A and B are shown apart, each in its own frame.
Chain A
Amino acid sequence: MSADRADLHVDERPDGSFAFFIEGDLQFDSRDEALYHECLALPPLALADKPRRLLICGGGDGLALRECLRFPGIDAIDLVDCDAGVLELGRTRFAELNQGAFLDPRVSVYVEDAWSFLAQPRQYDSVLCDFTVPRRPGDDRVFTVEWYERVRAALTPGGVAAFNAVSPQATPEAFWCLRRTVRAAGLSALPYRVCIPSFRDQGYGAWGFFLAARRPLRAAELQALRCPLATHQADLSRLWRGARFTRHERALEASVSTNTLANPRLLPLMLNPGSGELNCQLPIEPAGLLDLIPITHPYHTREMIETLAQQVAGAVRALDIRRLVEALLRRAAELPGKMVAELRKLRDFLRENAPDAAALQRWGYRLFAALVITMTLANAVCPDNAFAKGSHGLGHASMSRGYSGGFFGGRGSAHTSGTSRSGGFFGGGSPRVSGTAFRGSYRRGGMVDIYGTSYRPRYFYYYGGSSYHGHTGYVTRNTSRPSTSPEKHEALFVADDDMMVMDTGDVIITLSDRAFLLVTGGTVALLSDKLGEPLLPVYPDPNLFKSIRDDIDDQRDVARGEAKLRRDWLDWVGWTSALFPIVRADRDEARNLEDLDRRLGAALTTIGQPPANATPAQPLGVELFAGCFLQQNGIVAIRQPDSWLYTDGKQIWTDAANAQRKTCPPELADGLRSIMEKLQKELAADIRSDTSDLRTLDTDLAAMQRDLAEYNRYYSYYGAGYEVDYGTDTISAADAVMRTERDIADNRKNYNETNTGIHKSESDLATLNNLLPGFGH
């Protein structure tokens, strides 16, 4: 079972026992927690002078509280803990273990920071500090001299305090640092340790505590300790043995500093056990130096430090300093005189038989420093070049194009625009030219797109000019057509996933591998890849034209903007084109981008405008492309300039009265079939993708609802102004609740839209699956 917060974990066992962890650190195990809490709580109460008022700092689990409540003569206990989650567990999950300690009327619970709590004058006969072990900077504030001074101020003259410490076995320097810190606060500190089996199993070693008081405390007092209570697990009569430390252990206290707010020493000592103070005399050998690099983050390990340092050391060792010096001296004529003299001295020094290790080390450090500075400067000038992450130009970090391959409008649909729809060709943002197509291959065979990517050449064969495609009767090929062969047209520019701009300015929208739409001169025609002549004229849907124009306009803007950037660069360096090929290529790129802008402008003129009275089609079924629908009866309806054409793949007829049915041209049937097959695949892929999106939205919703519950809890406990973490920000609880509720509403809206899209796709796919097998047969 886990608590609501991911950092609080209660590990249940089949035998009914459990262990409680905070951020992976064991706080207690129900099997032996009494040993810990009896050793923490009972000795100070037994040594204090008639304790009546107690303070427990931390200990939100209520277990130390339980021990204190058992002690006779206690009138009032204040418990202050800033972690509401732990307190909640103390009241609920741990209630049985702490025997309902929080229900005792003598107990007052304060959900606030202990540091702030003791900022006000208070007096207690005993103070128990049961904090979690510090893991990051800032956590050790309640282990500083300043904190213990506050505790001292809160203690009555006969009062005794107890602090949980760290392990004198696993982190001895940190343990003795704590003792020194307690003593620096003006308290007498009596250390002792207890072996707790669950702590030992976790690798923590024996655990340490301190008794502290204003008056001197002696180990003999522990030996004479008489507790009026029976203990369940701890043997307090033997506690004094835990207070015996060897002279060597005690000597560590002299080698460490106190832990203060201005100079926090505890955490480094905990993370680097065995290192002692880190300002001791440096050894000469490099391996020893590595050991002195302190770990400053709980998730770093010694191995990580050593691996990093070895890489650097390897680079330095690979340098042959003698050869470097000799090479530099060969160029002595080009060097300043003083540098030459220094280099000669270095060469002579290196030639000596017994180089001094310390001197070599100094040179090594200087060289290392010079390398670091050089690499830093190089990275400032050419980011990522020095660190080989793949640069794309001066002053640029590595980048990715980052667009998800969408489908422009779906089969030349009039209802979406590739640029405005997220997931379309442009993904979510404005494209940038990052490829090198405009520097070399533009108009030299092959297509390019606005990203500067080259594609292999693509040719389409059709008759140019709009008048031929405007002929209304050519559907059966019984119409006059040019006597020449279809012309070969090369695609110049890839405007979208399925839209290309030809060298003549025509626009082609590929519907499948065998059929495409040709948009030119205000007309639209369906063509087959196998024939050079059109299969059908198609109604010039104004939405389709608008989509195409918007798309091309957007890409012209990009081309112009990119050309301008390059012109700005060439303003400075253009005159060096004779010297640097890269500048020549920049010039070509700028010219090509400007040429592309012109050609796209010409394409807008070439494709023309639909008739002024053109109207969008109303959907009649599954839309195969603009103005073409697969109806539920299996018949494909194609909207033509002046009528509707119907076909079942075997025959074609119009919507005129008494229209004769003719044989459907096989190219038309084949083309329509290929379009439907492609649509099938795309719909299936859309459904898979959208279903995955729904799962992600559900997961996000669950996380947001958990967050909302927690924010509401903070809101009710601490008020609207209480600051909480919101992502990487810190905002008030009220704002966090409002933002999370808004995020949940957005999530639901996206969910509904995606769900609706899935239903439509599934419906269309079902229709296609049913009708496609019978089409043309």
Chain B
Amino acid sequence: MRPPDERQAAAEHEIQEAERALGTGRLTDAAKHLRQAERDGGDQRHINRLDRAIKDAKVRRSKTQQGSKWAGFLATVFCYLLLSIAPPRGWTYPVWIGLAFVAIPLLGGYIVGRMQGVERDPSFRFRGAMIAIAWAMFFYTVLNLMVIHGRIETAVDPGAVFLVVLFVGIVYALIAGVVAGFAASRLAWRGKKAHQ
């Protein structure tokens, strides 16, 4: 058993670590340090205060996580709306591809990943971002194709056109979704780990 002075110093250290972890969003680490501080006999006032702060942060994070997919989806939809101003040829193909399949999905995935938090499992962040941004790309593609083909009056099999639209929409959605998932899982918390 440690001497009282050493135990007091260890408890202080754990409290500081808990505060640091809380500040960087590592709530699990913060709770662990706080428990250790409690075992070491730290100041109960600080421990209670930090405990409440950690609980509040968890509640806020839960709400943020719940809204992360929607935030990513809406941000991506907004960006695609801006992209719809001109057709692909209007942007030039390389620029359009870079924006539609790289930049915007990265942005959307990054938003989802950041809102999910560093402590979320990367695969979970990947899935969340992929679903949200894939839907956004799907709607962007399908709506644009519907509008464009609506202007063409040639009599064709509408079922075949429907299949083309669906296929292209799904493929584009998958590409954008994977890029967004990568951004959410790898880039959003690049260099930071859940447990430090």
A interface with B by C-beta (< 8 Å): 381-382, 385, 391-396, 399, 432-436, 438-439, 452, 562, 565-569, 571-573, 576, 579-583, 585, 589
Contact between B164 and A582, CB atoms less than 8 A apart: yes
List the A side residues contacting B161 at CB < 8 Å: 382, 393-394, 582
Contact between B164 and A435, CB atoms less than 8 A apart: no
Contact between A572 and B168, CB atoms less than 8 A apart: yes
A-B contact pairs, 26 of them (CB 8 A): A381-B146, A393-B149, A394-B145, A394-B146, A394-B149, A394-B162, A395-B150, A432-B153, A433-B154, A434-B153, A435-B155, A436-B156, A438-B154, A439-B154, A562-B152, A565-B151, A567-B89, A569-B148, A569-B149, A569-B152, A572-B141, A572-B168, A573-B145, A573-B164, A580-B164, A589-B154
List the A side residues contacting B141 at CB < 8 Å: 572
List the B side residues contacting A576 at CB < 8 Å: 164, 167-168
Does chain A have a CB within 8 A of B144? yes
A392-B154, A394-B161 are known contacts. Are A579 and B167 too (CB-CB below 8 A)? Answer: yes
A395 to B: closest C-beta gap in Å: 3
Interface string of B151-177 (1 = CB under 8 A from A): 111111111111111011000000000
> What 9 pairs between A and B have smallest CB-CB spacing?
A395-B150, A394-B161, A394-B149, A434-B153, A582-B160, A382-B158, A571-B88, A392-B155, A385-B158
Contact between B148 and A565, CB atoms less than 8 A apart: yes
List the B side residues contacting A393 at CB < 8 Å: 149-150, 152-156, 158, 161
List the B side residues contacting A572 at CB < 8 Å: 88, 141, 144-145, 148, 168
Interface centre among A391, A566, A573, A585 (most CB of B within 10 A): A573
Contact between B167 and A434, CB atoms less than 8 A apart: no
A452 to B: closest C-beta gap in Å: 6
What is the total of A-B residue contacts with beta carbons within 8 Å? 99
**Complex interface residues of chain B between 58 and 91 (CB less than 8 A to chain A):** 87-89
List the A side residues contacting B155 at CB < 8 Å: 392-393, 434-436
The bracket for how many chain B residues form the interface is 20 to 34
A382-B161, A565-B148 are known contacts. Are A436 and B154 too (CB-CB below 8 A)? Answer: yes
Contact between B153 and A399, CB atoms less than 8 A apart: yes
Interface centre among B146, B157, B158 (most CB of A within 10 A): B158
Does chain A have a CB within 8 A of B147? yes
Residue of B nearest to A580 (CB): B164
A396 to B: closest C-beta gap in Å: 6
- Determine the distance from Cα of A382 to Cα of B157 in the docked complex, in whole angstroms: 10
Residue of A nearest to B165 (CB): A394
A579 to B: closest C-beta gap in Å: 7
A433-B154, A580-B160 are known contacts. Are A395 and B89 too (CB-CB below 8 A)? Answer: no
B83 to A: closest C-beta gap in Å: 12
Residue of A nearest to B167 (CB): A576
Interface string of B123-157 (1 = CB under 8 A from A): 00000000000000000011011111111111111
List the A side residues contacting B148 at CB < 8 Å: 565, 568-569, 572
B interface with A by C-beta (< 8 Å): 87-89, 93, 141-142, 144-165, 167-168
A602 to B: closest C-beta gap in Å: 25
B99 to A: closest C-beta gap in Å: 14
- Determine the distance from Cα of A520 to Cα of B125 in the docked complex, in whole angstroms: 71
List the B side residues contacting A392 at CB < 8 Å: 153-156
B128 to A: closest C-beta gap in Å: 18
- Determine the distance from Cα of A565 to Cα of B151 in the docked complex, in whole angstroms: 7
Interface centre among B141, B148, B162, B165 (most CB of A within 10 A): B148
Within the complex, which residue of A435, A579, A581 is in contact with B154, where a contact is CB–CB below 8 Å? Answer: A435
- Determine the distance from Cα of A138 to Cα of B186 in the docked complex, in whole angstroms: 64
Contact between A395 and B146, CB atoms less than 8 A apart: yes
Contact between B147 and A573, CB atoms less than 8 A apart: no
Contact between A582 and B149, CB atoms less than 8 A apart: no
Within the complex, which residue of A433, A583, A589 is in contact with B164, where a contact is CB–CB below 8 Å? Answer: A583
- Determine the distance from Cα of A570 to Cα of B168 in the docked complex, in whole angstroms: 11
B139 to A: closest C-beta gap in Å: 12
List the B side residues contacting A567 at CB < 8 Å: 89
List the A side residues contacting B157 at CB < 8 Å: 582
Residue of A nearest to B141 (CB): A572
Interface centre among A385, A393, A432 (most CB of B within 10 A): A393
B136 to A: closest C-beta gap in Å: 16
- Determine the distance from Cα of A556 to Cα of B21 in the docked complex, in whole angstroms: 70
Contact between A569 and B153, CB atoms less than 8 A apart: no
Interface centre among B145, B146, B155, B168 (most CB of A within 10 A): B155
List the B side residues contacting A452 at CB < 8 Å: 154
B148 to A: closest C-beta gap in Å: 5
Residue of A nearest to B157 (CB): A582
Contact between A571 and B87, CB atoms less than 8 A apart: yes
B91 to A: closest C-beta gap in Å: 10
